[in-house]
Amino acid sequence: MPLEIDLSGRVALVTGGSRGLGRADALTLARAGADVVLADIQVESDAGEEAGRYGVLAQAARAQGLVYTEATAREIQELGRRSAAIRCDVTDRDEVAAAVERTVSDFGSIDILVNNAGTLDHVAQLADQSPDLWERDLRVNLTGAFNCSQAVWPHMVRARWGRIVNMASVAGTLGGFGQASYSTTKAGLLGLTRTLALEGARHGITANAIVPGIIGTEAFGFGRAEMSERMIRRTALRRPGEPQDVANAIAFLCSDLAAYVTGIELNVSGGIELFTF
């Protein structure tokens, strides 16, 4: 009998769902049967006045029309699933609480949380790291995941079933030259993941972390060509991954096929962490 990832009847909340990994995650969960709510600081119908608060990548995405939060929700609805796009700043606990309550009210439950929202544009060696951007990265990448996890937790505890997936990075496991704030927050997510796994186990909640390597998202395209080529050469498979590669792993971790998998960091990295030469 073939194994199938079946998320029918489940409701997922995906943060940072406007593009890239979040968009791919949301669509893949929907194709597996889940209803999906996308939460993002950027929504097409919003004026976008706050994009500047979240760095040059957010500004560039808005300027180039690379915001697909509402479009992705419509695409999911065309698959026959329920979906909604919610503007939500994961650093704002009131907005997070409102997004979770709306999900539960409109969709009936919240079974899956994918903490994907993050910043990636603070690149400078230690002496030149901006204290303001350091604090911003902590708030978005690490505290944002904590805020969302804490908000969904009582609903999952009551249901005695839940899946939390945190989006870490090889920068968190290997370090990242010129990425002190980003690497620190992604390493912190691994500690948060293990703690959620320990505390959630008695309630039927699993928590796992995805550790992506070089993935060909829109953000990857904004990088310097020579740096991108260096990272690809360091990857054992000698190519960037696709957002779908990450989404496939997330769908598995959210399914009953992974019911006995919790507290892990799953590399979806093409072998960039291997001794490659």
Instruction: Please check whether the domain covering 11-263 is classified as CATH 3.40.50.720.
Output: yes
SS3 per-residue string spanning the chain: CCCCCCCCCCEEEEECCCCHHHHHHHHHHHHCCCEEEEEECCCCCCCCCCHHHHCHHHHHHHHCCCCCHHHHHHHHHHCCCCEEEEECCCCCHHHHHHHHHHHHHHHCCCCEEEECCCCCCCCECHHHCCHHHHHHHHHHHHHHHHHHHHHHHHHHHHHCCEEEEEECCHHHHHCCCCEHHHHHHHHHHHHHHHHHHHHHHHHCEEEEEEEECCECCHHHHCCCHHHHHHHHHHCCCCCCECHHHHHHHHHHHHCHHHCCCCCCEEEECCCCCCCCC
Domain boundaries, the chain: 11-263
Is 203 in contact with 160 (CB distance < 8 Å)? yes
Q: How high is the mean pLDDT in each 10-residue block of the chain (277 residues)? A: 87 96 98 98 78 69 84 98 98 98 98 97 96 98 98 98 98 96 98 98 98 88 79 94 97 98 98 89
pLDDT reported for residue 8: 98
The overall pTM is greater than 0.75: yes
Structure confidence by residue, pLDDT tens digits, 93-127: 999 999 999 999 999 999 999 999 999 999 999 99
Is 102 in contact with 86 (CB distance < 8 Å)? yes
pLDDT reported for residue 50: 59
Is 266 in contact with 210 (CB distance < 8 Å)? yes
pLDDT reported for residue 58: 76
45 alpha-carbon distance from chain centroid: 22
pLDDT reported for residue 61: 73
Write down the catalytic residue from 54, 68, 182, 260: 182
260 has catalytic annotation: no
Indicate the angle between helix axes 243-254 and 20-31, nearest 10 degrees. 50
